[in-house]
Amino acid sequence: MPQANGDFPKPGELLRQIHDPEDLKGLTPEQLPVLAKEIREYLVASVSRTGGHLGPNLGVVELTIALHRVFDSPEDALVFDTGHQAYVHKLLTGRQDFSKLRQKDGLSGYPSRAESSHDIVENSHASTALSWAYGIASAQRLDKNQNHVVAVIGDGALTGGMAWEALNNIATGDAQKLVIVVNDNGRSYAPTIGGLSNHLNMLRTDPRYEKTLSHVKQALMSAGRPGEAAYETLRSFKRGLKDFLAPQVMFEDLGLKYLGPIDGHNLEQLELTLKQARDFEAPVIVHVRTEKGRGFTPAEQDAADRFHAVGAIHPETGLPVAPSRFGWTSVFAEEMLTLARKNKRLVGVTAAMMAPVGLGPMAKEFPKRVFDVGIAEAHAATMCAGLAFRGYHPVFAVYATFLNRAFDQVLMDIALHQAPVTIVLDRAGATGDDGASHNGMWDLAMLRMIPGIKLAVPRDATTLRKALQKATSDDEGLTVIRYPKGAVPEDYSVIERGSDDVNSSFSLISFAHEDVKSEEDRAQNARIALVALGPLVKIAREAAMQLSEEGNVVEVIDPEWIYPIASDLVAYLGNFDHVITLEDGLLEGGYGSALRDSLSTNLDQKSMPSLSNLGIGSRFWQQQSRDDLWQASNLSVEKVIELVHQGLKS
């Protein structure tokens, strides 16, 4: 990949000529492999600098080229399930500057309507594409619109129940201009599991498939020659095809035409099959076999799928440019394994993200006690209720953004039944660079309304371990633990700590200049409490140090278990003049709002402090760093000091 003076890598010569999908249609068959090679080179060179989803995109290069050559985007709607495989689509639709990929003012890591009319669905939650496609196709049928709708969905996303609900509707046949491309690479974040995976594996490995390909080749060679030999070859091909397609009853019994499996890296075969699907006047499933990470040797050889999404890496070796610091997920993984060794009734549950959420070590040592249910968060939650009914304590580890998909099950199947289930929310709060659909900012407001919930927000490794120990020993209902993305800070010093009872547990966090807390200072100066959750303790401490240097009496308080609101904390805050809450979650309806309600209910007017709440603003935040998002939401040392100064003047 050519580079000049350290500048960001530039696309290859042929790729630079592609400004719109129409430009693809003028390329010769000989140029297409060259284009595919240039795309892969640019992806490796650029994503290795910015980070992003590398493996999924390397696997769909030929498929995306073929889709844009056969269909007419944006008139024909291309809907990418999840969307993390849409980088190639971006390159072919005029977006070839990846220098700020997943950064503020740069390209999103997922499809984005703000970027291009070729992008339809921005939501990067899996298993939704078929419902989108059916809705679009149904609307087009009502309008007598003859354009096509193409849904590209991975075999992993087909483990989600929503996809099968959509298939059930699509099979009615009323959305005639609908093509479903199943991108089958045997992996989502990890090897795909479940009955569908087993079915597709059978198709990939069926020896009749190779025989059928052989018949095709013979037929193509003989088709131009008269005589009985050619006709017999064609008849033989039909018999072989019929034998091979026998296992397709799962799709065909639904009334869906099935084509495949075909080689997803053979452009000629892809275009031929997609044209057949396009011209068929009914919903069609095209089963495409691809290799995730194709063309990048480290990804091809990596069984652990580390290249699904990467940070900055060396493009030659695939090794990280800077080793990752010990992260929250690693602490959880270690402690979960330790607890599992002591408690045989402890089990783990994941929705197709065994390694990303940290259940891999437990699964390796106790494979029968960790359940991967596929991309099916709602099913996972209710399954946990069933496990709890028979005396097990399940720990459902899931990204915070994906718990949104299982709220009804958490409310009605777990909480209503007082099932002893622990939900561990990874990547909670602002995650930043993955954009609007991946920020885990909704949970504190969403879960607040659940009766009986106990929710912890650890601030460091020690409090995470203690929270997990307490949660997994609790047999009286739903417990939730949430922590952010990234590295774990050093443990904070604690001045005082309440009891282990969640109704009285909170910590006073130590910082410099505690000497201002003399009895004389307490009597003469306004008292300020900064109530900070988890990662916001750092900002509160820095603000407290500056405010204390000004002569103010400031205390940093970490509630630790934030729901239910601790009665002892409410009483303690009655001693302060000003209280400011900081949370890495939705400001409206979040923890600060709940604390305000509790203070106003339980304190008399004389004891009621002035209260200001800081949190993430209620909007869909586009890709940017977590620090940028916090700054934009006033989660900063400067804003805390400003609010204190305003309070002192009033």
Q: Where in the sequence numbering do the catalytic residues fall?
A: 292, 377, 405
Q: What are phi and psi of 398, to 5 degrees?
A: -155, 150
Strand partners, 180: 151, 285
State the burial class of residue 147 (Cβ atoms within 10 Å of its Cβ: 0-12, 13-18, 19+): middle
Burial class (CB in 10 A: 0-12, 13-18, 19+), 230: middle
Q: Is residue 577 a known part of a binding site?
A: no
Token pair 């989803």 in the structure block, residue: 53
Is 296 assigned to a binding site?
yes
CA dist 232 and 226 (Å) reads 11
Q: Is 84 annotated as a binding residue?
A: yes
621-645 burial string, b = 16+ CB within 10 Å, else e? bbbbebebbbebbbbbbebbbebbe
The neighbour count for residue 229, using CB atoms within 10 Å, is 11
Closest CA to 188 of 358, 350, 61: 350
Distance (Å, whole) CA 338 – CA 485: 22
Known binding residue 155? Answer is yes
Measured in degrees and rounded to the nearest 5, phi and psi for residue 482 equal -130, 140
Q: Concatenate the DSSP letters of all residues of 332-382 into one string.
A: HHHHHHHHHHH-TTEEEEESS-TTTTT-HHHHHH-GGGEEE--S-HHHHHH
The whole-angstrom separation of Cα 265 and Cα 60 is 8
Q: Is 397 annotated as a binding residue?
A: no
Q: Strand, helix or coil at 90?
A: helix
267 near 64, Cβ under 8 Å?
no
Q: How distant, in Å, are the alpha carbons of 185, 336, 575, 607 from that of 603?
A: 59, 39, 10, 6
| Pairing of β 393-399 and β 422-426 | parallel
Residue at token pair 């997609």:
274
Q: Is 578 a known ligand-binding residue?
A: no
Closest CA to 427 of 362, 368, 484, 491: 484
126 annotated ligand-binding residue:
yes
462 close to 434: Cβ distance less than 8 angstroms: no
Burial classification of residue 185, based on how many CB atoms lie within 10 Å of its CB (0-12 exposed, 13-18 middle, 19 or more buried): buried
The residue count for the chain: 650
Q: What is the DSSP letter of 52?
A: B
Residue 457 tokens read as 């927000």
Q: Is 97 annotated as a binding residue?
A: no
- Give the residue ranges of the annotated binding site for Mg(2+): 155, 185
- Give the residue ranges of the annotated binding site: 84, 124-126, 155-157, 185, 296, 377
- Give the residue ranges of the annotated binding site for thiamine diphosphate: 84, 124-126, 156-157, 185, 296, 377
